[in-house]
Structure 1
Amino acid sequence: MFSRSKYLFRAPTITLMLGILSFLLVIGIVSSPEQTFRASLEGLSMWWHIVFPSLLPFLVLSEILIAYGWAHGIGVLLEPLMRKVFGLPGVSGWVLTMGMTTGFPGGAHSTLQLVDQGDLTPREAERITWLSHFCNPMTIIIFIGIGLFDKPSTGYWLLGIHWISGFFAFLTYTSFRKLLRKKGTDPLLLERGIQGPRLSLIQRVWRAIDKAHVRDGRSFGKLLGESVSHAVQALLVIGGYIIIMAVIIHLVSYYIIPGVPAYYISGIFELHLGAKALSSASTLTPVIQWSLLSAMLGWSGLCAMIQSISPLMRIGIRRIPFAMIRLLHGAYAFGLTLLIWKPLHLFVLQAEPTFSYSPNYTNQMSPSSLIWSRIPLMLEWQGFVLIGLLLLSLGVVLVTARRSH
């Protein structure tokens, strides 16, 4: 039960603590301006070379496809899969697709768009945010697999472990919540009236697309301009988060806990910086190095978690369950990597070059033509994932229809 007195007591305390931390942060920046500048420059380089080109086309494409109803049409196809496996409405399948292909916070922004259109309730938005929080595949394959470890095929292994452990973490947490509740159903997850019983599958898909497009009503020119504007604005906010986290990592490592390895501190706060620090940790055995890397991907870092949670705070998304699922995600990824380490090491790692972290990787990435040339590969990945989800959903539809007869 909500207690106003506790809230009034807690609000000034939190404000005082945040004010003190901000003051200490300013002192740390002033006392070491050169090191702080280098840390912020590293965060800026990471954002411009990796995050910005990876997410920009997907964020623009996401808003356009949602406005034209494609997300709702795909939702009709994914309805059986999302309902039976994850207990979510079919339209959330589009959010899952965006989360798996664009990475955080692409899934969160797609969720917010569907909430604003009235297609998801706040509770459904919260659950799909738990499920769709994945790392960008290009970050795992290109940045980590090729750039940091010089092992292209291992990026695909890490990506598969990342997805599987994320699904297990969501199902574990939601199943545990159902055991604690007296009733096993959520009253907010109700069937919608999109799928009429007398309509064929194609008719239901077209009906959902047309209804969503008519409700949006924007012309293509206006839609394109607003999509680009919203995507760039969101990416600027993400860049600010990364730069601030890079500075905080430096100050924590230098002043507060200088004896702790850098990859632990960086991994807690920011994924890209943590992976870069972990790749140069020569004191770790390969099995622990790769397992910690999988756990770091599952945890995703406070920076990525804030990016996904902040846009959805106004609809009441809770932070503690989200953080608990991220801990489960990291734990499952760590254990799964340990479990398959022998075949992974035998058939993949030994067949490729040994660990070779290149300190000139950032310099190699500096030409804009090299960075932006990866966009077709990113779009190809999104297409593969989307086709796979559609085929899986169609299989569930056929099995369900056969059982009903």
Structure 2
Amino acid sequence: MKSKKFNIILISLKNTIIPIILCSFMIFLILFSTSNIIAAKNGLELWATTVVPSLFPFLFATELLGKTKFVQYLGKTLNKIMRPLFNVPGEGSFAFIMGLISGYPVGAKIVTDFRNNGICTKDEGNRMLAFTNNSGPLFIIGTVGIGLFANKSIGLLLFITHFMACITVGVIFKFFSKNDLQNLPHSSYKPSVSSSNSISTILMIGSYVVIFSVVISILNQLHILDLFSVVISPLLGFFNINLSFAVPILSGIIELTNGINLVSLVHVKDISTNIAICAFLLGFGGISVCLQVYSIISKSDLSIKKYIIGKFFQGVFASIYTLLALKYIPILNLDIKATFAPISTCVTYPISILGFNNYFVLFGVLCIIVCFVFSIPSKKSNNC
């Protein structure tokens, strides 16, 4: 009875709050029309000049590869690796590789196709979503490392820790797997004959880029991000993070590219904080990417819940791996110091693991422990 009442309350809130938010959004579109038009143009330019050239070829190539027997061949070849490591079919390696090379949201698109065509079970699809949909090397190394930090080593570090974190999430989620092979339909991967899927996907991504550019513009006009930055300031203080990171972090949680750009512009004594926060945002992907994934999987029976949980932990693990690498790789330490030395002649950038770093590592270790505790099957479930 309580669950039914709770569901009724949720539905009523959904039917009330969503219309209010949408009506408010349209009102603010009119009130801040000038800044919103500029934001929409910037979002459209970002999509046309960056997203389409870097992502559409991968989407199209994915469909072409799917028309051949490459996916089946890869599945048979790598099944002995994917099944013991992640407890997913060997074809999952195709989603993992393409998702890691191409970037968001290619992995989600491939996993959804797998599920719709019977390559994987619902449980396998939900778990694959969490670790196969990742940011690509073009964005991490090119845009973030070279473009924003002017340092290729930082880009390589972020990509390596991003890769390690997604594998960690995949391995941990293996312990939450269910045996639902009896519900697996006939397996046959049949992608579309044309490039219509690639075109519709890239247009969908463009719509989200433009919409979230406008949303961030409205939030800035209303100073809502500043308000939320005050709310999260105690949490930042606990991790010894400079409060100037509050708005960039919130922006990155909403939309990845804009947030990472703002994080890279914050000048603090220990540059490892900037890099670790970027690692977290790259791992999580932002609400914009989550909604893109939700739009893609809406054509299947896959769930967004496990994806969001997985991406959050991927961000945490990526930050921890990044901090540890900055601490224990002296060559990388010198490289970063040399890059950022011209910013200030009176400031050095020690890569330490004190204060915020120490708490962050402790938090990550606790997350891993909690995951493994909950992954231990109970006697009741074993008897069933």
| TM-score band w.r.t. shorter chain | 0.7 to 0.9
Change (3 A) 1:3 1:145: same
- The sequence identity of aligned pairs, in percent, is 24
Give structure 2 stretches of 5+ with no counterpart.
230-245, 344-384
Structure 1: where are the runs of 5+ without partners? Answer: 178-184, 195-210, 357-405
Counterparts of 1:257 and 1:191, CA distance in 2? 45
Question: What's the secondary structure of 2:120's corresponding residue?
Answer: coil
Counting only pairs closer than 5 Å after superposition, residues 384-395 of structure 1 correspond to structure 2 as none
Residues in 2 aligned to 1:191 and 1:154: alpha-carbon distance in whole angstroms: 45
Give yes or no for the alignment of 1:334 onto 2:319: yes
Out of 272, 295, 298, the residue aligned to residue 283 of structure 2 is: 298
Q: Report the CA distance shift for 1:282/1:352 in structure 2 as closer, same or farther (over 3 A).
A: closer
Tell me how far apart the structure 1 counterparts of residues 341 and 301 of structure 2 sit (CA, whole Å). Answer: 47
Tell me which of 192, 199, 206 is aligned to 1:232: 199
- Is the contact made by 1:124 and 1:188 (CA closer than 8 Å) also made in structure 2? no
Tell me which amino acid in the other structure corresponds to 2:218.
L
SS at match of 1:257: helix
Distance 1:190 1:162, change over 3 A: farther
5 Å matches for 1:255-294? 255=222, 256-258=224-226, 260=229, 261-283=246-268, 285-294=270-279
Amino acid at match of 1:16: T
Q: Compared with structure 1, are the counterparts of its residues 78 and 119 closer, same or farther at alpha carbon in structure 2 (3 Å cutoff)?
A: same
Please list the CA deviations of residues 3-52 of structure 1 after superposition, one character each: whole Å capped at 9, or x if unmatched: 66654543332121111111111222211111112222222222122211
Scaled by the length of structure 2, what TM-score is found?
A: 0.77
- Aligned partners of 1:2 and 1:103: how far apart in 2? 42
**2:363 equivalent in structure 1:** none
- Of residues 205, 208, 217, the one that matches 1:250 is 217
Q: Number of aligned pairs?
A: 323
Partner residue of 2:180?
A: 188
The answer to whether the 8 Å contact 2:75/2:91 transfers is yes
CA contact (8 A) 1:253 1:262 kept: no
Give 1:292 shift. 0.6
Q: Residue 134 of structure 2 aligns to a residue in which SS?
A: coil
Q: Secondary structure at the residue paired with 2:226?
A: coil
Cα distance between partner residues in 2 of 1:235 and 1:284 = 40
Paired residue type of 1:327: F
Corresponding residue of 1:161: 161
Which structure has more relative contact order (CA 8 Å, sep 6+)? It is 1
- In 1, Cα distance between equivalents of 2:183 and 2:213: 44
1:98: which partner in 2? 98
Offset, 1:191: 12
2:248/2:262 contact within 8 Å kept: yes
What residue number does 1:311 align with? Answer: 296
Offset at 1:284? Answer: 6.2
Contact 2:205 2:292 in 1 (8 A): yes
CA distance in 2 between partners of 1:81 and 1:2 (Å): 45
Question: 1:20-35 maps to which residues of 2 (within 5 A)?
Answer: 20-35=20-35
In the alignment, is the contact (CA less than 8 A) between 2:116 and 2:300 conserved in 1? no
Counterpart code for 2:63: E
Check whether the contact 2:112–2:302 (CA below 8 A) recurs between aligned residues.
no
Asked if the contact 2:149/2:264 (under 8 Å) is kept, the reply is: yes
In structure 2, distance between residues paired with 1:350 and 1:167: 30
Q: Post-superposition shift, 1:290?
A: 0.7
- Measured on the aligned residues, the alpha-carbon RMSD in Å equals 2.8
Aligned letter for 1:164?
M
Structure 2 CA distance, aligned partners of 1:70 and 1:120?
17
Q: 1:73-97 deviations in whole A, cap 9, x for unaligned?
A: 1111110110010000111111111
Structure 1 pair 6–67 and aligned structure 2 pair: CA distance change class (3 A)? farther
For residue 70 of structure 1, report the CA deviation from its aligned partner.
0.8
> Which of these residues, 324, 349, 362, is aligned with residue 336 of structure 2?
349
Deviation at 1:318, TM superposition (A): 2.3
Q: What whole-Å deviation, never above 9, does each CA across 1:78-128 have from its counterpart, x for those lacking one?
A: 101100100001111111111111111101111122223222222221111
Q: What pairs up with 1:378-389 in 2 under 5 angstroms?
A: none
Q: Are residue 76 (structure 1) and residue 62 (structure 2) matched?
A: no
**Which stretch of structure 1 is more off in the superposition, 2-11 or 278-287?**
2-11
Deviation by residue 1:227-271 (Cα, 9 ceiling, x = unmatched): 2x2212111110111111111112223312335343122101111
Q: CA deviation at 1:146?
A: 1.2
Alignment check: 8 A CA contact 2:88 2:120 kept: no
- Poorly superposed stretches of 4+, deviation over 4 Å: 1-9, 189-192, 351-356
Q: Which moved more, 1:253-262 or 1:301-310?
A: 253-262
- Tell me: CA distance 1:355–1:97, structure 2 relative to 1, closer, same or farther (3 Å): farther
Q: Measure, in 2, the Cα distance between the counterparts of 1:99 and 1:49.
A: 21
1:50 aligned residue:
50
CA deviation after TM superposition for structure 1 residue 283, in Å? 4.1
Distance 2:218 2:322 in 1: 32
Indicate the residue corresponding to 1:180 in structure 2. Answer: none
Q: Compared with structure 1, are the counterparts of its residues 352 and 283 closer, same or farther at alpha carbon in structure 2 (3 Å cutoff)? A: closer
Alpha-carbon separation, structure 2, partners of 1:119 and 1:55: 24
Q: CA deviation at 1:66?
A: 1.1
